[in-house]
Structure 1
Amino acid sequence: MSDQNRYGDKLIMRKMFVLFALALALIISGVALAQDSEPQYAGLDMDLSGITIRMATIGGGQYEAMYSSIPVFEEATGARVEIVALLDGFAIDQKLKLDFATGAVDYDVAWDHTSFVAQYVPFLEPLNAYFTEEELSQFSPAILEAATIDGNLLLIPRHADVSALHYRADLYNNPEIAEAYRAATGMELTVPTTLEEIDRQARFFVQNGYSTYGYGMAGKEEALTGRFYEFLFASGGALFNENFEPTFNDAIGVQVATLLRDWYRDGILPPDTTSLLWDGDAQNFCNGDVALKLEWYGWYSYFQ
């Protein structure tokens, strides 16, 4: 049986579940559709009795709080949601690669990232017809654009993977540390806005014993590429030009790569950075071992 025939009868389930995913995305992103502060849902007015929706998705860290809304969906619609895989972002992407290559996909919905999704275009159901303009208006146009390839919406956002600078307030609000920084650098200790300032402050905190490490990041496998790209883009660089020719090794790219190398060599980064994904990196920050770091805002409540 062809994949098209095999999964053709699941398209209606996929459509219904996409609306469920929209409801969850609205909850997580804090979109308010009413005057009160209660969570708002969409797609719960459907009768899906007897339908099981199989889902391969991301787990760990702050991701699984979203799934507490699954029972609400199940109770309202009569559907049953079965999570067949709950893996970290890289592991779930590796599973998709293998399953699509071998024809082993036996689930209806999967998590993926905009940076990975282009390789799966032939296997994905475009979502454009499953959403109204009003429903899509709840999302940032830039996020939807990132999830669209050749005019086809292939992902519906659950969150925006945008980094915010997190820092230890006890370091920045300490008058003695501020005075020591002023004496050492001739500058005021304020929250940094450039890589140059981050570098200067991170080194100061470590060299003067205020923090074990100056900066923290997930550096295992593709995570390191993501952090490099983040710094590269913020510095005015790019991985590729408009013709998709590599530009990450230009002067800006070399400067960023050198900065990361020097941080690792000089002990500004933890020595196990290349083994860390987000959970371990977050724990270092919560332990007070790291002075500051860029991180997706979904970790903010965990850091408190």
Structure 2
Amino acid sequence: MRSRLRALVVGGPMYDGLYATIEPFARQEKVEIEVVRADNHPDLNRRITEAFGQGAGFDLISTHSKFAPAQQQWLQPLDGLLDSRELVNFDPRALELARIEGALFGLPRNMDIKLLHYRTDRLQEAPQSWESLVQTAQSQPPFGFVFPGKGSGIFGHFFELCGSAGHYLYETELPRPQAQHPAGRWALETLAALLKTAPRETLEWEFDAVTACFAAGEASLTTDWPGSFHRYRASPIRDHLGLALYPVGPVRRATYAGSHTFALARSARDLPLALALLRHLTSREAQLLEARQGTLPGRRDALAAIRSETPPHTLEASRWDLLKQALEYAWFPPKHPRYPAVEAVVSENLRAFLRGEQSVETTLERMDREGGQKAEGG
């Protein structure tokens, strides 16, 4: 009887290309592999919880450094399964993000950090500060700055704006929000000003919708992840795309960041085979394939390879330099099993504020109170 694996992965334009390599791997290994795609990360997280909670799990999943701690009970520790020589090519920061309380629970797929994107035919240069960005966006028809208005996307902007005002949003031991702070007020006011320059549908948009809007040429500014770059290269704005580091806030530059990973399930039916698939999906060749679409590899050898094949003095070459610099300003959410529930509270309060349903003070107070309750298990 042929061995069979089930993999649950996040889908979308920036992820799907890699999964085409699973069928050739399955033929080579003479196995059957069922690949189930989730629509996005919220859908992926829901499916993981439902599947493993019902005892009908998968052998391998894709996950993320900020979500994996909430899934740890279902994940297979990798220390002891992988030789240290297999890990030497992974970026140490990416490996650290994949660890939970010191134990390795996944292999990095990429490092995810955003850059500022702007239209060079509309702006002579990128805004250097958030204050300047707001002013620039207000002068750009039809839309100035576009951004996601729900879920992780809207949270990320608030989180990094707080950081650029010099404030880390969470306590150190538990992920209790500390939003009632001058940085929180400034971040809310900045988001409200930017919303006035964005389409009315913004509060229903996630990342892919923002990318589509900017790629269509409807806005002058946005921020985006490395994995979206291939969509811009094939878009109407391909000859008018400028990239830059994030603007500086009142105190510093801070950029929302994380790492996508692949992980094995504790309940994997054929652990050696599942481990072989994990190695395949995080190999130099796999990460180079994704890097050619724009992602920032979690492996240093794949990053060296893509940089060596990128023509010098091009936007692509400049982009690799900018991504390297951007990692110096990476602003990572806490790793804690209750963190996703806290983030959801922050996001929903942000949406209520931006819909005009709550004042600044009420929003910050509710973030702290309701987020604190979730952090403590309530």
* TM-score of the aligned structures, taking structure 1 as reference length: 0.71
Query: Which residue of structure 1 lines up, in the alignment, with residue 71 of structure 2?
Result: 120
In 1: Cα distance, 2:26 partner to 2:118 partner: 40
Alignment of 1:162-173 (within 5 A): 162-172=113-123
2:84 is the counterpart of 1:133: yes
| Shift in Å, 1:298 | 0.9
**Which consecutive unaligned segments of at least 5 residues does structure 2 have?**
234-378
2:168 is the counterpart of 1:216: no
| Shift in Å, 1:129 | 2.2
Flag the 1:104–1:273 CA change in 2: closer, same or farther, 3 A. same
Flag the 1:53–1:240 CA change in 2: closer, same or farther, 3 A. same
2:93 is the counterpart of 1:158: no
In 2: Cα distance, 1:65 partner to 1:151 partner: 32
Which among 286, 292, 297 is matched to residue 221 of structure 2?
292
In 2: Cα distance, 1:104 partner to 1:235 partner: 45
RMSD: 1.9
Alignment of 1:142-221 (within 5 A): 142-172=93-123, 189-205=124-140, 209=141, 212-221=142-151
| Shift in Å, 1:246 | 2.4
In 1: Cα distance, 2:31 partner to 2:162 partner: 45
| Shift in Å, 1:88 | 1.1
State the percentage of identical aligned residues: 25
Flag the 1:138–1:231 CA change in 2: closer, same or farther, 3 A. farther
| Shift in Å, 1:127 | 1.4
Higher relative contact order (CA 8 A, sep 6+): 2
Which among 14, 23, 39 is matched to residue 87 of structure 1?
39
- The CA deviation string for residues 17-57 of structure 1, in whole angstroms up to 9 with x for no partner, is xxxxxxxxxxxxxxxxxxxxxxxxxxxxxxxx932220111
- The CA deviation string for residues 199-244 of structure 1, in whole angstroms up to 9 with x for no partner, is 1221122xxx3xx211112222332212222332333221213243
Which among 184, 193, 207 is matched to residue 278 of structure 1?
207
| Shift in Å, 1:130 | 2.6
Alignment of 1:8-47 (within 5 A): none
In 1: Cα distance, 2:52 partner to 2:189 partner: 38
**Which is greater in Rg?**
1
In 1: Cα distance, 2:159 partner to 2:106 partner: 22
Q: Which amino acid aligns with 1:151?
A: G
In 2: Cα distance, 1:101 partner to 1:196 partner: 46
Q: Which amino acid aligns with 2:128?
A: T
Q: Which amino acid aligns with 1:222?
A: S
**Which consecutive unaligned segments of at least 5 residues does structure 1 have?**
1-48, 173-188
Query: Which residue of structure 1 lines up, in the alignment, with residue 192 of structure 2?
Result: 261
Q: Which amino acid aligns with 1:70?
A: I
Q: How many residues align?
A: 232
Q: Which amino acid aligns with 2:199?
A: P
* TM-score of the aligned structures, taking structure 2 as reference length: 0.58
Q: Which has the larger share of strand? A: 2
